[in-house]
Every structure is written in C-alpha cells, then in structure tokens.
C-alpha cells in the first residue's frame, strides 16, 4: 500500500510541472501571435506582393498582365538602370571610405585631452542632428552658381566658380561631400566609444619597449579598434545605399540622369511613370544586391571578431 501511495504521489508531482509548462505555453502564444501577425503584415506580405507584382506588367490605372521574368530581362537591357547601379556603387564607395577615414582621424583627435574638448565635440556632431531634407535645402542655396556662398568663397581665394550639382561631372562628388559632412560625426562617435574602451596595458608595454606613436597606433590601436571600425562600416554602407531624400531634394536625379541612383530610378519608375511591375523588379534586384553586400560585411565582421 505504501508503494502504491509513493508511486501515486510521484506521478502527481511529475504531472504538476507538465501542467505548469502547458499553462506557460498557452501564455507564450499570447505574445508570439501578435508579433508574428505584425511581421507578416509589415515584412513578409509586402515582399510576397512585390514578387507577385514583379512578374506582371502592372501600371497604375491600367490592366495587369502576367509576364513572368520579362521585367527582369528588360532590366538587363536597360542602360539607364545599369548606369544607376554604377552610380549607386560609386556614390556608396565614396560616402563610406571618406567618412571612415575622417571619422577615425576625428576620433583620435577628440580622444586626446585638450581645453574645451566637450564643446568641440558638441560642435563637431551638430551636422548629424539635422534632418536630411533640411540639410539638402541649405546646401542647395549654398550651391547656387551666382548667389551661392561657396562660389563667393572660391572667388575670394582666387579660384574659379564651380557648377557643383549643376554639372554632370561634379554632381556625384558634390553629393558625396554633403554625405561626408553629414555623417562623419556618426563614425567619430562610434570609434570614440571604441577608443575609450581600449586597455592601457599594451600602450604602457609599447612605451617601455620604445615604440613610436605611429607604431603604437598601427600595431595596437588599429587592431583593437577593428570591431568598431567594422560596425561603423556596416552602418555607413547601409545608410549610403539607401540614400534618397538628400539626392532627390537637391537634384531629382539630374542634371539629366547624372545623379540617378537606384533609389531615384526606382522612385521615378513607380511614382512618375507608374510602371509598378517594372519598379517591383527593380526592388527585387536591389534587395538582392543589398543581401550580397550584407553577407560580405557580416563575414568580415565575423573574421575580425575571430
């Protein structure tokens, strides 16, 4: 009888945790289902619908005809689209490399102690606080060939005026200049946080061994700062690839198509020409490019952390 009671009590003790797990599981789904619905509505469904539209010749206010991969094949022969990819990569490369270099130099400078360092840091990060549209409007006035302050400054030092964003040869470098001015402070803040977290012991050992400041930077600071550099690189690459508002406000892709990046090309196809099916194919291709770059950057980050 005692053995039977013991078995019954053990079974009851084992059943209690199972009941608690079932209760927890029921409560768990109350949190999972709303999140899953939000992800489905905001991410999965738009992408599925974009793929569906990319397989159709769909124009706003017109009919819808299934064309399969015709939109993608059309992209291969579309010189304007192919040039927009090259412009995007060119703009992205300059908008990433220059802020990374200048942000590193600024972080090294602001990491040192000097009078009114806090005020200098605050002034340096002010451009990052402005919205892209406001930045674009201000720089547009400064770029005016006759009334802009930049050409007036060039004339004061004896240099000829520039056409800035009004000439095909200078429009992309000029837009890159705005990106550098706007987002170099972000890179500086990331790297400044990295510099503040570096250990002191390697520098003391290097000083005892007679290492020069450059040798300490090259062999100690740069390797230890590499994970922060990769994080800044990823953030800047994503920001540069999706740059739209500044370019559109200043140039609308002009002069001609000289500053027409993929984002501008996509916007014009969808909302100016109403070729929604063709624009959806552009979205899919652009997303594929972003995924490939993201995989390369994540692989680089994993290698640096290893």
Residues 148 and 9 occupy one common structural domain: no
Q: What is the pLDDT of residue 304?
A: 74
CA distance 151 to 241: 29
Residue 278 lies in a domain: yes
Per-residue tokens: 94: 């300059």
Give mean pLDDT, residues 105-120: 92
* Contact indicator for 103, 191 with CB cutoff of 8 Å: yes
Q: Which of 17-26, 118-127, 212-221 has the lowest mean pLDDT?
A: 17-26
Domain that holds residue 31: 2-54
Same domain, 41 and 78: no
Judge if 147 and 19 occupy the same domain. no
Number of domains into which the chain is organized: 2
Q: Are 248 and 265 in contact (CB under 8 A)?
A: no
Q: Tell me whether residue 159 is in a domain.
A: yes
Closest CA to 262 of 82, 24, 84: 84
Buried b (16+ CB within 10 A) or exposed e, 199-235: eeebbeebeeeebeeeebeeebbeeebbebbbbbbbb
Tokens of 210: 């007679």
Flag the least confident range among 25-34, 189-198, 292-301. Answer: 25-34
Q: Is residue 98 part of a domain?
A: yes
> Does 243 map to a domain?
yes
* 8 occurs within a structural domain: yes
8 Å CB contact between 170 and 162? yes
160 to each of 121, 144, 150, 157, 167, how far by Cα in Å? 33, 14, 11, 9, 15
List pLDDT tens digits, range 62-73: 678 889 899 999
Using one digit for the tens of pLDDT, what is the confidence trace for 128-178?
Answer: 999 999 999 999 999 998 889 999 999 999 999 999 999 999 999 999 999
**What global pTM score does this model have?**
0.85
pLDDT band at 86 (very low <50, low <70, confident <90, very high): very high
Alpha carbons 94 and 135: distance in angstroms, whole number: 19
In a domain, 26, yes or no: yes
- For residue 227, pLDDT over 80 is answered with yes
Q: Give the whole-angstrom CA distance, residue 172 versus residue 228.
A: 28
**244 in Cβ contact with 267 (< 8 Å):** yes
What CATH number has the domain bearing residue 157? 1.10.3720.10
- CA dist list (Å): 282 to 127, 141, 173, 243, 275: 32, 33, 25, 16, 11
């Amino acid at each position: 009888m005692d053995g039977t009671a013991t078995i019954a009590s053990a079974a009851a003790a084992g059943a209690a945790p199972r009941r608690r797990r079932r209760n927890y599981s029921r409560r768990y789904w109350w949190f999972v289902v709303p999140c899953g619905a939000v992800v489905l509505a905001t991410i999965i469904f738009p992408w599925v619908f974009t793929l569906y539209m990319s397989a159709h010749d769909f124009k706003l206010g017109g009919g819808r005809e299934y064309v399969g991969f015709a939109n993608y094949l059309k992209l291969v022969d579309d010189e304007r689209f192919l040039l927009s990819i090259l412009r995007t990569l060119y703009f992205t490369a300059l908008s990433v490399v220059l802020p990374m270099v200048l942000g590193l130099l600024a972080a090294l400078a602001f990491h040192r102690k000097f009078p009114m360092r806090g005020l200098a840091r605050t002034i340096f990060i002010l451009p990052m606080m402005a919205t892209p549209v406001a930045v674009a409007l201000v720089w547009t006035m400064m770029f005016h060939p006759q009334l802009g302050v930049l050409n007036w400054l060039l004339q004061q030092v004896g240099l000829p005026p520039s056409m800035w964003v009004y000439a095909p040869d200078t429009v992309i470098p000029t837009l890159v200049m705005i990106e550098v001015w706007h987002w170099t402070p972000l890179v500086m803040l990331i790297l400044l946080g990295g510099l503040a977290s570096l250990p002191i012991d390697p520098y003391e050992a290097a000083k005892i061994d007679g290492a020069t400041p450059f040798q300490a930077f090259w062999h100690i600071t740069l390797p230890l700062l590499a994970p922060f550099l990769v994080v800044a690189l990823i953030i800047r690459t994503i920001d540069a690839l999706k740059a739209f508002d500044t370019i559109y406000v200043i140039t609308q892709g002009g002069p001609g198509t000289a500053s027409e990046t993929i984002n501008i090309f996509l916007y014009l196809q969808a909302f100016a020409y109403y070729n929604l099916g063709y624009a959806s194919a552009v979205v899919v291709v652009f997303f594929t490019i972003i995924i490939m770059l993201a995989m390369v950057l994540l692989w680089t980050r994993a290698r640096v952390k290893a």
